[in-house]
Amino acid sequence: MTKKMGGTPMLGIVLGLTLVSGQLMNAYAVPSATAKDWATHTWNFGFAQVHMIGYQAQVIPAILAAICFNYYERFFKKITPSIVQMIVVPFCSLLLGVMTAHFIVGPIGWTLGTAVGNVVMAGISGPFRVLFGAIFGGLYAPLVITGLHHMTNAIDLQLIADTGTTMLWPMIALSNIAQGSAVLAMIVLQRNDDKAQQVNIPSCLSCYLGVTEPAMFGVNLKYVFPFVCAMIGSAVAGVICTATSTAANAIGVGGLPGILSINSKYFLSFALCMLVAVVIPFVLTYIVGKSKGIDRGVGVEDVTLDGSNVAAATAGTPESSVGAAVAAVTSAEAMGELTEDGTLCAAVSGTVIPLSQVDDAVFASGTMGEGVAIEPSAGEVVAPCDASVTVVMEETGHAVGLTLASGLELLIHIGLDTVEMNGDGFQTHVRKGSIVHRGDPLVTFDRKKVAAAGHKDTVLMVVTDKGSAEKVDLTTSGTAVAGVTPVIRY
């Protein structure tokens, strides 16, 4: 948590150790503690007494303590002369951090964690647990899009600490499987489309192994209906999962390997849930996709946001057909005006680093495609080449997608986890369908606001589709000037 917020990880470790010190009463011994025990485990300040409690297996107190500590560290770094920062900042930050952790946020976090655990436990074990399973199973995938799915880890750990198992993690694993099964249906439907299979196959494999982002963003959300079909299958699997009280002993293994986390007495029920999470999304996606002509080569550009077929929607309407034809001709003419020289310049000024060094597993692994990362020195992102704007995250402003005349597709992603800022500090200067030329402004962002939110402002340039290019050469070091310095050649 400390590293995530830009603090010093080693100091965060020290703070965490103070929460589980052997001098404190172990968290598991608190319920059975006697007056004699408290007599030797209480800080007496005269005007106040505070129980010396450890926070073993408690997640929320640790998170709250880390947040407070990071603000202390930033404050002392700001007001302390650099010559004595090495001594003053760690000491003062830890002193206040430890006091805050044990006297304020620790007890609050303990109470909050217990309350959250009780509420979730009531939902998954009460009379309406089947309904809870349907809602959580169906809506977990949309949580992944927003990044809010990370909060479920804290709830899982709290449930494991309180009851020894968690019933949330099995449904999370099933949601991963459902999204992968929807992509599997797209693989079958698009088996003759080599270009689509370059994205479909690796996305399906990573999804079945627990990493859903490539599948959702690369396939399911592009067509929409596979995403919805996967949600339906996940909801049904969630109903069965909660109805059979299937629980996991631990978290960490998602997708098909998720069965390794399941309590052994629930292996058969979880296997049934896995079967449902595979069959229902696959069958629904295949049926809907076939009805929309996906198997006959209908592409994403022919499917509207609600998943309906454009050609079918405009059939028999001359005005619509003429309008679509005019729009297509206009778009083709605009794309024809774009020039290419085989280079993509830096989208932002700064220091170029390899994509593999980025603190994001999806991008660093190359799952989304080849590319480079730039540590920016300014907050203006410009077009690296002539292109058509095909994707703009207008609400958040953190990403723009470009398509070149050759078919090469480039994703420009600003910062890590900056989607959580909901557009605060970001301003887009283009819209979907815009034609841009090298150096045209795309997005401006406030680097100070990004840092204050605890995020890194690294700008990623990822080639998600090579188009007609045979290979891509990357420049992964040096200083770059936005719109001037080539960093990708194809």
Nearest to 284 by CA among 324, 225, 347, 327: 225
Q: How many CB atoms lie within 10 A of CB 466?
A: 18
Is 83 exposed, middle or buried, given 0-12, 13-18 or 19+ CB atoms closer than 10 A?
exposed
Q: Are 303 and 292 contacting, i.e. CB atoms less than 8 angstroms apart?
A: yes
CA distance linking residue 4 with residue 19, whole number of Å:
19
Hey, which bits of 321-458 come out as E strands? 343-345, 350-354, 370-376, 380-382, 387-392, 399-403, 409-414, 426-428, 435-436, 441-445
Is 455 tagged catalytic?
A: no
Nearest to 345 by CA among 414, 439, 434: 439
Q: Are 14 and 75 contacting, i.e. CB atoms less than 8 angstroms apart?
A: no
Query: Given 41, 102, 398, 413, which residue is catalytic?
Result: 413
CA distance linking residue 163 with residue 242, whole number of Å:
16
Is 303 exposed, middle or buried, given 0-12, 13-18 or 19+ CB atoms closer than 10 A?
buried
Q: How many CB atoms lie within 10 A of CB 6?
A: 15
Q: Are 350 and 473 contacting, i.e. CB atoms less than 8 angstroms apart?
A: no
CA distance linking residue 222 with residue 184, whole number of Å:
15
Which residue is it, tokens 């949600």?
A: 231
The token pair that represents 70 in the structure block:
């990071």
CA distance linking residue 147 with residue 144, whole number of Å:
5
Amino acid, single-letter form, for residue 346: A
Nearest to 155 by CA among 136, 127, 138, 142: 136
Residues taking part in catalysis: 413
